[in-house]
Structure 1
Amino acid sequence: MNQEQLNRMHFASGFIAALDQSGGSTPKALRLYGIEEDQYEGEEAMFDLIHQMRTRIITSPAFTSEHILAAILFEMTMDRQIEGQYTADYLWEKKGILPILKVDKGLAPLENGVQLMKPIPNLKELLERAQDRHIFGTKMRSVIKEANPAGIHAIVAQQFEIGLEIAKAGFVPILEPEVDITIADKEKCELLLKAEIQQHLAKLTEDVRLMFKLSIPTVDGFYSDLMEDPHVVRVVALSGGYSRKEANEKLARNPGLIASFSRALTEGLKAQQTDEEFNTLLKSSIQSIYDASVQ
């Protein structure tokens, strides 16, 4: 674990840019970017286009370490290059931004009100490659759809089990048990979720460091006590389907909680924009998310 990078993530001001759309979410991300599915053929062309989009964002003069702590990358992005460097090296060496890798393989079918992660059969090999690519941390997502104690217990247990394996390999894992923002019992889910998280944190050895990526809570400041736990490097928030404006407003009411936005970050960016238009909008978006993150 790189101590300089760990200190930056723990103490510096800023937010995390989530640029990790995978196979299932890439077509939607491209549509929002102004590229329809009839404009490309096959997965290879699709991933080439999404890498072009990510490259345009990362190389933009608006995308700097002044406001951005880290960027979450899809596995293929880790293995691709930007201006002759692997993406993680470009982020850290040219931009001073920490590279984080999405490691999950998507969601399992709904059971007990939650969607666990699918198995990650090649995790050991993936982490070895991530070490070679100079990755700082990882991220993995599962989803809570109802306040089912058995389901939430299972989702947190899975996140911690795999997270500890990742931590032992020298990375800082981000555990992401997302609560669906549209459900009626969201607040009850959050109560059950935090209680499960706290039980697992209490059992950790002193040397373990991890992060959480959580839905913006119903009750302002609800995760403040998690931020105080010595094992927790940072608690970050996903936008969860909120617009950028709404996500920023909710985030700003939660001191210490910082953004890890995807759609809310790229909202309004289009392939057809000139570089000046693209960079101006991206700068404005980054500034607004930063401001909400440092309240």
Structure 2
Amino acid sequence: MAFEKQTQQMASGKGFIAALDQSGGSTPKALRLYGVTEDMYDGDEAMFGEIHAMRSRIILALDFTSEKVIGAILFERTMRGEVNGKPTAQALWEDRGIVPFLKIDKGLEDKANGVQLMKPIDGLAATLADAKGFGVFGTKERSVIYEANADGIKAVVAQQFELGKEVVAAGLVPIIEPEVDIHSATKAEAEDILKAEIAAQLDALADDQTVMLKLTIPTQDGLYDSLADHPRVLRVVALSGGYSTDEACDRLSRQPKMIASFSRALTEGLSKQQSESEFNDALGSNITKIFNASA
């Protein structure tokens, strides 16, 4: 019952997906932006405790509800933690009405052919089974494209869909994320190649295999509209890719069939030192901007 309701929310719900999935490598930077510097915690456990406290504060904030936020992507430690005395995914869905996803990629291989493929994911079957047990709806997996290299892009998309099929077989919905670097000198050309490769992979899916796509906001407005209309695609979402909140929202507002899935742009201007009202006001302002750009 919950899965059908969550599927409907993902397919047609108004709002955006919050990306709360910074991993070990990006956590110190996320904490610094939040006003928590390395001298304020000792070791990885304390670091992850700080980031979990930040994510819990966001999840429990006044405006962080399904009225504007329809989904949230979690880091594995966050999924295994608790918010308000409940497992995080359960708290998201039951208390906030927000569909939970899990980031499953384990980092990137070295750059080759203008791209970075995903590293192998150890223990994938067990992680997917655990995610299903926690009430997670889907997964997210990221690769990066730096240049319009046809062989590299083909390899990225093939790897993404191969993994996506494993996720579908486990009863979850994959968010396939082949990010095109916003600083690429051949961004528009790379996006054209990427679109064609994704379309070919979508056409090869079976009728019971449904995916979501998370893509860099394209240089050509509306480029991915045809992918959003594909019968095997539940939704196309956009990553902020390093753009400021305002620029990301401006660019997204010109994409008729994409909604946001922002990370850094969502937490811009938030600080541990803020009072609850200051924090809620800052987060609420970001949420409203991103919601409006996604509408």
TM-score band by shorter chain is: over 0.9
Q: Deviation at 1:271?
A: 0.3
1:182 to partner: Cα distance: 0.4
CA distance in structure 1 between the partners assigned to 2:7 and 2:260 by the alignment: 18
Q: Gapped runs of 5+ residues in structure 1?
A: none
Paired residues in the alignment total: 294
Q: What secondary structure is seen at the aligned counterpart in 2 of 1:72?
A: strand
Q: What residue in structure 2 maps to residue 263 of structure 1?
A: 264
For 2:38, the equivalent position in structure 1 comes to 37
1:273-284 superposed matches below 5 A: 273-284=274-285
For 1:37, give the aligned amino acid.
E
Does residue 222 of structure 1 match 2:219?
Answer: no
Classify the secondary structure of the residue corresponding to 2:141. strand
Report the identity percentage: 58
For residues 144-293 of structure 1, the aligned pairs below 5 Å read: 144-293=145-294
SS at match of 2:206: coil
Give the drift of 1:132: 1.1
Which residue matches 1:11? 12
Note the C-alpha offset of 1:280. Answer: 0.6
Following superposition, the deviation at residue 131 of structure 1 comes to: 1.1
Q: CA deviation at 1:285?
A: 0.6
Instruction: Report the counterpart of residue 137 of structure 1 in structure 2.
Output: 138
Deviation digits for residues 198-251 of structure 1 (CA, Å, limit 9, x no counterpart)? 111111111111000000000000000001100000000000000000000000
Q: Which residue of 1 aligns with 2:101?
A: 100
The whole-number CA distance in structure 2 between the counterparts of 1:90 and 1:234 is 23
- State the match for 1:119 in structure 2: 120
TM-score by length of structure 1 reads 0.99
Q: CA deviation at 1:256?
A: 1.6
1:8-37 deviation digits (Å, cap 9, x = unpaired) = 100110100000000000000000000111
Q: Structure 2: how far apart are the matches of 1:230 and 1:281?
A: 38
Instruction: State the partner residue of 2:92.
Output: 91
Letter in 2 for 1:228: D
Q: Alpha-carbon deviation of 1:2?
A: 1.1
How far is 1:62 from its partner?
Answer: 1.3
Structure 2 Cα separation of the partners of residues 202 and 137 of structure 1: 21
Q: Could you tell me which residue of structure 2 aligns to residue 54 of structure 1?
A: 55
Q: AA paired with 2:36? A: I
Gaps of 5+ in 2: none
In the alignment, residue 106 of structure 2 is paired with which amino acid? K
